[in-house]
Amino acid sequence: MRDYKAFTKYSKAGPRYTSYPTAVEFGTNFKYEEYIRFLKEQKQDISLYFHLPFCRSACYFCGCNVIYTAKEESKEEYLIYLFKELELLKDIIDTKRKVVQMHFGGGTPTFFSAKQLENLILKIKSIFSNFDENAELSCEIDPRFLNEEQADILAQNHFNRISFGVQDFDERVQKEIHRIQPFELTQNAINMIRKRGIKSVNVDLIYGLPYQDLNSFSKTLEKVIMLNPDRLAIFNYAHVPWLKKNMRKFDEATLPTPDIKLSILEYCEKFLTQNGYKMIGMDHFAKSDDELFKALQNNTLHRNFQGYTTKKGANLIGVGLTSIGEGENYYAQNYKDMLNYQKAIDNKKLPFEKGIILNEDDKIRKAVIMSLMANFYLDIEMIEKEFNIDFFKYFKEDLANLDEYRDFIQMDAKMIKINETGVLLIRNIAMCFDAYLKKIDEDKKVFSKTL
């Protein structure tokens, strides 16, 4: 294993680049009327994201927008507003456009009952009638909240990708993060899905949690391989206690150091490669026959708020509390506060709170950053042709910032390619092209550390 202590200097606060510009730049200068105009003008295929925000209790590592409740009426009321939001969308956008992707995220989507999930799916399909026969329909599942009836509903409605949250199988880590989840429980949940013919199973892990080290995480990986997932997402824990109060419960002295985290990530890549997986993007792994790996080989992988995808160019429409949508020229986010979300819908308006309209520089930098983040590769000639620029003149200052990472890239007049070690620093490398970071004081707490 490589000695990563020298890499500590690269541990900087920086974005994960699920978008560019990042959500930090979203604001109220983007007006509701402009957003509606963009929605009406969109002609592309559609990708739908539904945020189902409820959880029974807090997982202390979680950075998602979540509401903790055990009240059945809260879920029922939320569904009523989701249905109203869909009705509002029906009057604004062309819902006959092809739907190529739909994702249920949370929260815990399967905290909703089978009947509630079925009602939601039926409502969606009554609004969006043109689902592509090869559409990717996916759902996040907490294995602690899944029963036979829910699995039936997902299978009967042609969901074909299920993502199971695991994080870590080590008992000490599970106790510390407030998520007790035995291996057998997870195995039973995955079997429940697979026996219904849903073939694509993803397992989510997190490294960087309290008490983790290389030895303990390697044991978790060995158990995960027994589950034989088709994909794995292995995320770097984003410690942002100034944003998420639940993270303040951790003793920061128990968090692994950047060099330990890098050694874990390196081990993941070697271990999973030996077991038939390929590294996809900065935090995903897939079997070599998976469409994500094929897209990576062709440099056509895309990254959005739902992770890595082959559905580039689709108009992402976010539905529900705090959901984010993406169009060719904008990002838009719904209200995070439930009362404001409901108030907007009661007033017959979409629950749009803020966003950003992309200028030409945003679009150019977005193309560069997303290509590097998704494919570890940038076709310079393609960028020059698409945007009619001289790449090396346009990015003169940014390329000077890239000098710090010269040992981790290969670059010539036609392309930038990230090498095997550089992949571990991909967020840092992408940050060199981020025009907005220069405006944020380094000591201002906005992003988690890159390592």
CA 419 from centre of chain: 23
401, burial (CB in 10 Å: exposed 0-12, middle 13-18, buried 19+): middle
59 has binding-site annotation: yes
Q: Is 179 assigned a ligand-binding role in the annotation?
A: yes
Asked if 322 contacts 316 with a C-beta cutoff of 8 angstroms, the reply is: no
197 is in an annotated binding site: no
Collapsing DSSP states into helix, strand and coil, what is residue 133? strand
Residue 324 in marked binding region = yes
- For the packed helices 360-375 and 380-387, what is the interaxial angle rounded to 10 degrees? 160
Residue 238 assigned to a binding site? yes
Question: Is 432 one of the annotated binding-site residues?
Answer: no
∠ Cα 198 203 207 (to 5°): 175
Q: In this structure, which amino acid lies at residue 14?
A: G
Is residue 268 annotated as involved in ligand binding? Answer: no
Q: Phi-psi bin for 306: left (phi > 0), alpha (psi -120 to 50), beta?
A: alpha
Pair 73, 387: CB distance under 8 Å: no
Helix (H, G, I), strand (E, B) or coil at 171: helix
- Longest alpha-carbon distance in the chain: 60
Distance CA 349, CA 89 (A): 9
106 assigned binding-site residue = yes
Q: Is 107 annotated as a binding residue?
A: yes
Is 61 marked as binding a ligand? Answer: yes
Does 320 count as an annotated binding residue?
Answer: no
Asked whether residue 165 is marked as a ligand-binding residue, the answer is: no
Query: Two tokens at 341?
Result: 């979300």
Give how far the C-alpha of residue 225 lies from the chain's centroid of Cα atoms, to the nearest Å.
Answer: 22
Known binding-site residues for S-adenosyl-L-methionine equal 49, 61-63, 106-108, 140, 167, 179, 204, 238, 324
Known binding-site residues equal 49, 55, 59, 61-63, 106-108, 140, 167, 179, 204, 238, 324
Known binding-site residues for [4Fe-4S] cluster equal 55, 59, 62
